Amino acid sequence: MGILPKSIVTVFVRHNTSCSHSRRGEFYRGCDCPKFLRYSRNGKQTRKAAKTRSWSVAEERAIEEQEALDRGEQPKPILIAVPQPTIADCIDTFISKKESKGISARRIKKFRFQLADFEKWMAARGKLFPASLTSTDLIDYRATWSGKWKVTTRQKAQQNIRGFLRTCCNENLNELLAALDKLVKTREDEERLAPKPFTEKEIKVLFAQIPKTFFGKPERAALATLLIKTMVATGLAIRDATQLRRKDVADGWLRIRRQKTGRRVVQHLDSALVKELLDGDGEYIFWDGKIEVTAAVTDWQDEIRLLMQEAKLWIPGNTTHRFRDTAVDFWLGAGWSMTEIAAALGDTVAVCEKHYADLASKRVEERLVKLPKRSWEQAARA
């Protein structure tokens, strides 16, 4: 009878369909996709969720699983008393991780403000530890937002708090995330977030402002100019534009899959724009590939927001998406159908019709005004 090989527990990642690092394989450490454990025992492979998105935490759980396997199939639990981190402790760790990724100081400030508000409110309620949080706590806390924050701030706060909870809650995580479900917009919110395309005059003002906002940074200014040209021409979302590769436009066609939806984007580009996009080295056009893509995206968002503010064209809560609105408005004016626009944007027709119905109606009215109309003036004179 031979000796059975030792079971070795390994960590691997299952990339989400929207993960930009999926091509790096199942052992890539740098993304936030769910981590899993895997080992073989008695000829049977076992896979189990590590219940974390952090590679380092998954490795710790792999060690625990390895020790359990080495002791036998059903090891006796070893209980070790360890200090339980408070919500405040977990926030410090969360912020430190964000800082290590190169997230901009402006975003870090927002994280600190929103999570400090969360921690203070929970402490007043007697909730000091992540494990003590309940769905009722989250629902009651979120109810305080409507009187002090606008919808975009509420949306971002919810996104940030959900991300924080994923790093420090285990047993109660699903319950807490379910409590922070989709926010309902008011009529005022809908009006403020409605599409607001730039006029041709405003686009010229924006380009004229670039050398002033990026003073002393000629290379960044040139890149910002090209980025805005690209988004206005194609309607690309900022994350897709940041990750645009030269090979994605090499034949004069834009061919990518959207990071958000996974849907294909296909457009035939202006030859002059293609020439500018291909002028340069490196795989990516607007990202050096060295820092985390999320950090690169937030850097561009912060710089473009500042540009719009200094050009007196900024609308709170509506920054780079206005370039997408501008592209759609131009296409509607040129007579494109919603089916064609959906294909160009990488969205469904239903989403485009819902979001751009008012723009489409306005463009239809403009065309109707130009149609010939029967006049009774000459008949009356006769």
**Secondary structure of 55-93 in the HEC alphabet?**
HHHHHHHHHHHHHHHHHCCCCCCCCCCCCCCCHHHHHHH
Q: Strand 253-257 relative to strand 44-49: parallel, antiparallel, unpaired?
A: unpaired
pLDDT at 238 over 80: yes
Mean pLDDT in residue range 254-274:
91
- Residue 26: name the closest of 2, 47, 45 by CA: 47
Distance CA 124, CA 127 (A): 7
- Residue 107: name the closest of 357, 305, 260 by CA: 305
pLDDT at 242 over 70: yes
Distance CA 75, CA 64 (A): 11
Tens digits of residue pLDDT in 157-195: 899 999 999 999 888 888 999 988 887 766 766 676 678
Return the CATH architecture of domain 200-368: Orthogonal Bundle (1.10)
Percent of the residues in the chain that have a pLDDT greater than 70, as a whole number: 91
pLDDT band for position 376 (50/70/90)? confident
pLDDT at 318 over 70: yes
Q: Which pLDDT belongs to residue 378?
A: 64
Q: Which pLDDT belongs to residue 189?
A: 66
Q: Which pLDDT belongs to residue 200?
A: 93
Mean pLDDT in residue range 71-83:
55
Distance CA 326, CA 197 (A): 4
Mean pLDDT in residue range 265-274:
94
Tens digits of residue pLDDT in 325-361: 999 999 988 888 889 999 999 888 898 888 888 887 7
pLDDT at 6 over 80: no
| pTM beyond cutoff 0.85 | no
pLDDT band for position 380 (50/70/90)? low
Mean pLDDT in residue range 255-261:
88
pLDDT at 299 over 50: yes
pLDDT at 144 over 80: yes
Tokens of 76: 């006796």
Distance CA 46, CA 122 (A): 39
pLDDT band for position 92 (50/70/90)? very high
Distance CA 207, CA 300 (A): 15
Q: Which pLDDT belongs to residue 40?
A: 81
For residue 141, give the amino acid letter: Y
Q: Is 92 within 8 Å of 205 (Cβ atoms)?
A: no
21-35, 111-125, 295-309, 341-355: the lowest-pLDDT one: 21-35
Phi/psi class of residue 29: alpha, beta or left (left: φ > 0; alpha: ψ in -120 to 50)?
alpha
User: What are the residue ranges spanned by the domains of the chain?
Assistant: 10-71, 87-192, 200-368
Residues 6+ apart with CB under 8 A from 8: 39, 66
**DSSP result, 366-382:** HHHHHS-----HHHHH-
Cα torsion for 230, 292, 214, 311, to the nearest 10°?
A: 60
Q: Is 207 within 8 Å of 228 (Cβ atoms)?
A: yes
Distance CA 192, CA 301 (A): 19
Q: Which pLDDT belongs to residue 41?
A: 72
Distance CA 288, CA 330 (A): 31
Q: Which pLDDT belongs to residue 382?
A: 57
Most confident of 68-72, 117-121, 288-292: 117-121
- Residue 140: name the closest of 151, 126, 156 by CA: 126
Q: Which pLDDT belongs to residue 75?
A: 44
Q: How far is CA 102 from CA 99, 220, 356, in A?
A: 5, 18, 35
